[in-house]
Amino acid sequence: MAHLWKKARAVVFIMLGVYAVSFGAGFAAGKLGWTDAEKVRSSALAALNWDLENKVPVYGALLRAYKAWERPLLMRSIFQGKVVRAMFIIFLNNWVVADLTMNIRAGLIFPMVLYPVGRFAQGVAMARSPAPLQTWMVWLTEFGGYFLTMTASLIAVLWTAFYRRFGFPSRRKALGRGAIVLGLAYLVSGVFFFVGSYAETMLLLGRSLR
């Protein structure tokens, strides 16, 4: 795996840099009072970023139908105090549905132009609202989970498209190695999302982590 890391590290570091700069800028702007979460969320770019998947033919309709089923079920589980069921719903949403959406974004490459917009908005929201331990735990686990698979998807696409530049003998070889990296990243992201589902459930129930 060491030789694959050498080929992937430039993409990883660039993505980390973009995340750090955009989230940090949003956090600083929120702390300094230059903007607020509501103003950022209502901007045209942020609205496009949140609604991008819903504009995709077929997939958008499926996503809306899933959310119409998932949201009420999660709220009922929370109100009824069903911790395990709520955790499972959150985990399923993050690891399967949301993670797949992030993979599609990265795979298409163009939607990644909006990636900093979402991170900036996230930074503002974290700076402008009280953030208990659960909130930071959810942020950390979601960052780890989504960052892993999104970056791995981007790596797989770039390796396949520019296989010679990355030192692969053929496009097929690059695609195969990219699929391995993506598969491993997806499995590891599941660990992040499992921990995050517990933290998010406790947050929604108003309970402390234990």
- Count the neighbouring beta carbons within 10 Å of the beta carbon of residue 149: 26
Phi, psi of 208 (to 5 degrees): -85, 155
Residue 16 forms part of a structural domain = yes
**Number of domains present in the structure of the chain:** 1
pLDDT tens digits along 183-192 = 999 999 999 9
In Å, what is the CA distance from 4 to each residue of 41, 101, 171, 180, 181? 38, 25, 15, 10, 8
Question: At 157, is the pLDDT very low, low, confident or very high (cuts 50, 70, 90)?
Answer: very high
Residue 15 forms part of a structural domain = yes
**What are the residues whose beta carbons fall under 8 Å from the beta carbon of 1, sequence distance 6 or more?**
none
The sign of the CA dihedral 97, 148, 197, 48 is negative
Residue 21 forms part of a structural domain = yes
Residue 120 forms part of a structural domain = yes
Q: What is the pLDDT of residue 209?
A: 60
Comparing 210 with 93, the larger pLDDT belongs to 93
Residue 43 forms part of a structural domain = yes
Comparing 166 with 105, the larger pLDDT belongs to 166
Question: At 48, is the pLDDT very low, low, confident or very high (cuts 50, 70, 90)?
Answer: confident
Residue 41 forms part of a structural domain = yes
pLDDT tens digits along 75-129 = 998 888 888 999 999 999 999 888 888 888 887 777 788 888 888 988 888 886 6
Alpha helix (H) residue ranges in the chain: 2-31, 37-41, 44-51, 59-79, 83-92, 99-108, 115-128, 133-161, 171-205
Average pLDDT over residues 145-156: 92
In Å, what is the CA distance from 140 to each residue of 53, 109, 145, 173? 24, 24, 9, 33
User: Distance between CA atoms of 97 and 103, rounded to whole angstroms?
Assistant: 10
Give the max Cα distance, the chain. 57
Give the range of the structural domain holding residue 71, as residue numbers without chain letter: 2-205
What does pLDDT average to over the chain?
A: 85
6 contacts 181 by C-beta, under 8 angstroms = no
| pLDDT reading at 16 higher than 90 | yes
201 contacts 90 by C-beta, under 8 angstroms = yes
Average pLDDT over residues 133-139: 79
Residue 210 forms part of a structural domain = no
Comparing 35 with 24, the larger pLDDT belongs to 24
Most confident among 6-10, 50-54, 202-206 (mean pLDDT):
6-10
Most confident among 13-17, 37-41, 52-56 (mean pLDDT):
13-17
Note the Cα 16 to chain centre separation in Å: 13
Residue 177 forms part of a structural domain = yes
User: Distance between CA atoms of 12 and 17, rounded to whole angstroms?
Assistant: 9
User: Distance between CA atoms of 40 and 103, rounded to whole angstroms?
Assistant: 24
User: Distance between CA atoms of 193 and 90, rounded to whole angstroms?
Assistant: 9
Comparing 3 with 71, the larger pLDDT belongs to 71
